Structure 1
Amino acid sequence: MMASKSCTLGKARKWSWVRIAALLISVVGFGGHVDAFATTPPNNNNQEQPTVTTDPKDPPSEISRRDLFDWPFLAIASAVVTGELVATAVGGLSLSRPAAHEQRVADTIRRSLVEATAASTPSLRVLEVGIGNDCRLIRRGLYNQAIANLGSTTDTKQLEITGIDLQLPKEDTVIDAQLLLDQLQQETGVQSTLNIQQASITSKLPFPDGSFDAVICCLTLCSVDDPAAAVAEMKRLIRPTGGTLGYVEHVAVNPDENYPLLEWQQETLDPLQQLVADNCHLHRYTQETIHDVFATNNDDKAKILQEDRFLVDKMWPVTSQSCGVIQREG
């Protein structure tokens, strides 16, 4: 069962037909066009304001992977690249994450944790869903800004991180992650502990309601069998008075977004992606699922502190993404 495994672009046998399928799909799609859009860069200032950003801006000047489809004479070359990308995924290599994307993840974690401290004790309890077998967020330093802010702007002196995933990381990986957290303690005064459990977010976890001040979920809901059940379990575990959900997920293109080729690619490649990438779905309306479960249309239940939709060309095919911080009000 695929339940709370972080998105890794799969581990499977490198079948030759995968290259052929991706090649044909790419050649057929070369005639379309999708303009990239970007959103306001993450705000790292301590002064927080609710933000919801979806307005498109001018496309970047560099040629993206999707832009290659605009020129027929480049279509075949693009198709070959696409085939190799998918084959690489089948080979089990990790998905490349650009620095701008990593900064967006770090800012989401920071906002989620800092906002959750308002009504918490000096010890902040965080659940990371789909922590992965490499503890990537911690080991890439994506908690660093959050911990630094906790130490400088709040009374929080202890951070308790609980990670869950279907596959446990190796002991050396956990030790390495804890050492990084220990180094941050010397710089920030915040003592951080890491505990990892093998568990599925689509099942009821062995924690009472409201056990965590914040839940972090990054590129995980694409792979669960039941996204609504997973989000409902996250909501159950979040403290009902001011607890937060911080998420970064790749999502389906919305009907009101004029990216027909990207949407076509998502729908067409979705079955193949699920096969080669640990049940990862390319075309899920994850943002809408989160809104529905948290009842964000009711201010008495939850409020959106920040939200953003954006494209990350260098992470194709999981190009269309959304991030946000939602705070429970009851």
Structure 2
Amino acid sequence: MTPLGWLGLDRARHRLVAGLSGHVLEVGTGTGLLLPSYPPSVSSTVAIDIDPDMLARARLRRPGVSLFQADVQQLPFPDGSFDAVVSCLVFCSVEQPARGLAEIHRVLRPGGQLRMLEHVRSPRPVLSRLQEGLDPLWCRLSGGCHLDRQTVPLVEASGFRIVQRARHLREAVEELVAVPV
């Protein structure tokens, strides 16, 4: 991931959490790379991941964050619990992304935001075909990461309206802010 950070991924990660406030849920926190970047205006951060070893590493990055072993497809929180939900390079690996997005929709408060940074299927035909061809092998080698997810239509079909969108790395990475409709 380090070379992608040099190409702008680190800046995009920081933008993902800039300006957030209130009670925030980060899904798929992994080793917690994003946790130190949350601004002081965030009153509390809850982070989940399905991998307990990743959560142990995340705990070292920012003590005081509430960490839970959980799956985005079945969130253990009441409806309307969070002011914002953050997802950074997660939905490429979610088995049922529509179910995970429905859960995020459920736990967001009215007026809340979903902020996502995801690699996606390229709109460029040659790159899109390459992603599609490589996906089965890549998925096996990377622990379930899909190269060719069409995340934007999934987000919109899950009851969100995209209010901000930026594309990076030859349109293979999407940065989104969406609100429940």
Question: 2: CA distance between counterparts of 1:289 and 1:104?
Answer: 21
1:295 deviation in Å?
A: 4.3
Asked if structure 1 preserves the Cα contact closer than 8 Å seen for 2:32 and 2:57, the reply is: no
Q: Deviations over 1:160-193 (max 9, x none)?
A: 1111111123646513422xxxxxxxxxxxxxx4
Aligned letter for 1:309? R
- Identify, as 1 or 2, the structure richer in strand: 2
Partner of 2:166: 308
Aligned letter for 2:117? V
Partner of 2:5: 98
Aligned residue runs from structure 1 range 115-134, under 5 A:
117=21, 124-132=22-30, 134=31
Identify the match of residue 288 of structure 1 among 141, 150, 153.
153
Partner of 1:83: none
Change (3 A) 1:171 1:268: closer
Q: Deviations over 1:97-152 (max 9, x none)?
A: 324221122112214x1xxx5xxxxxx211100000x21112xx432xxx15x3xx
Aligned letter for 2:62? A
TM-score (norm 1): 0.51
1:194 paired to 2:65: yes
Partner of 2:51: 167
Aligned residue runs from structure 1 range 55-134, under 5 A:
94=1, 96-99=3-6, 100-111=8-19, 113=20, 117=21, 124-132=22-30, 134=31
Aligned residue runs from structure 1 range 10-89, under 5 A:
none
Specify every segment of 5 or more residues in structure 1 that has no aligned partner in the other structure, as ranges: 1-93, 118-123, 151-157, 179-192, 297-303, 313-318
- Identify, as 1 or 2, the structure richer in helix: 1
Asked if structure 2 preserves the Cα contact closer than 8 Å seen for 1:222 and 1:284, the reply is: yes
Question: 2: CA distance between counterparts of 1:202 and 1:131?
Answer: 14
Identify the match of residue 32 of structure 2 among 118, 121, 135.
135
Partner of 1:320: 172
Q: Deviations over 1:6-32 (max 9, x none)?
A: xxxxxxxxxxxxxxxxxxxxxxxxxxx
Partner of 1:65: none
Aligned residue runs from structure 1 range 243-254, under 5 A:
243-254=112-123
Change (3 A) 1:292 1:195: same
Partner of 2:141: 276
Change (3 A) 1:307 1:266: same
Partner SS for 1:266 = helix
Asked if structure 2 preserves the Cα contact closer than 8 Å seen for 1:102 and 1:142, the reply is: no
Question: 2: CA distance between counterparts of 1:293 and 1:170?
Answer: 28
Asked if structure 1 preserves the Cα contact closer than 8 Å seen for 2:166 and 2:174, the reply is: yes
Question: 1: CA distance between counterparts of 2:159 and 2:89?
Answer: 19
Asked if structure 1 preserves the Cα contact closer than 8 Å seen for 2:32 and 2:61, the reply is: no
Specify every segment of 5 or more residues in structure 2 that has no aligned partner in the other structure, as ranges: none
Aligned letter for 2:73? T
Bigger relative contact order, structure 1 or 2 (CA pairs below 8 A, ≥6 apart): 1
Q: What's the RMSD between the two structures over aligned residues?
A: 2.0
1:288 deviation in Å?
A: 0.9
Question: 2: CA distance between counterparts of 1:247 and 1:207?
Answer: 20
Question: 1: CA distance between counterparts of 2:5 and 2:178?
Answer: 25
Aligned residue runs from structure 1 range 175-186, under 5 A:
175-178=60-63
TM-score (norm 2): 0.89
